Chains A and B, each alone.
Chain A
Amino acid sequence: MGKYLKHPLGQAGVVLFLAYLLFDFGIAYIPPLFGIASAPIPNSVLLQYLITVSVGILIWVSDNEARWAEFKEPMHRVMVDPDLKTARNSLMVLIPILVALMTFSQVRPTVAAPTTLRSIHPAPPGRIDFQGTTLELGSLQNPLRSRGSMEEHYEEGKRVYYENCIACHGDGLDGQGHYAHAFSPVPVSFQDIGTIAQLTESYVFWRVAKGGPGLPNEGAPWNSAMPAWEDFLTQDEIWSVIIFLYEQAGHEPRTFEEEGGEGEVE
């Protein structure tokens, strides 16, 4: 065993195998051990990562003449050594068969859903019509933040959330409500730092008010089960539920001031 581990070819194999384990299982299962949500990476991404690792390994083994020669030696031996004739012949049969099988798995007719390319946070329109008034999204601020008591807004938002949102987005704001599994795309998790934490309140207002049907085509509006809440809620109810979302999930809304001097927004 130790002998093989000292050989550059053995080392390359071990590194590649460990990298595969890390990418295919580690990414999906290690963070959850620490309470952080994760998911398996798609095979195409896995392949890219492994190609990157392979290139790195090749650079490393070819960096030194002696190591390069040592690295190639076993492969060369399989090709020419009379003692390894059985291994050679087996490989000459097995490799073409493997290639044939891989090709077949690519070209055979498959029963698969078409991939839907969907922009998760598509660009918002400049202005929206909300129950008869025109709102400029670029300059739209949450009016409740400068009026009344934040605690009351939070409680009001909680009422709105529990009456309308938990069935899909869940009590834990994790997108795991009891209806969540019935819809594709799945409801957004507000806990995820990729959602409301990187959006402005005006953007969230647009998404809540116009829902799935208000998405532009790149957002695949025909699939979204998000209702257009302008049909159910008043403007203040939407603003209060937005305050609740940020407070409950422990995120801050994104503001334009943070972006370093861009300041004015059209």
Chain B
Amino acid sequence: MSGNPAVIALLDLAQLDTEAGHREAAGASLERGLRIEPRNAWLWHELAQLRLAQGQYAQAISLAQKSISLAGRERRLLALDWRVIGNARVAQGSSSEAEQAFKLATEFEQ
């Protein structure tokens, strides 16, 4: 996810905070990571996941789109991003858009 031990350390920290239910702190750690590696698509994805878990669906979608824009050909990540978008769309009640997102996710999982 990153070759930079500093970023890995922050991802670990965010993970611990998330598990302990400290989502705000987890978000702050991910943002710290993004300051070091602003183009790391995995970090954007993690932030999208976090916002999804916090119920901030519009942000989850935007952040996943941001991750997609930086993901290049990393199909595994693209699939995960589209899953976030799909889940956020479901929560927003737009089922057709959700379906489309899940379809894309499945394609990238192939």
Chains A and B are bound partners: no
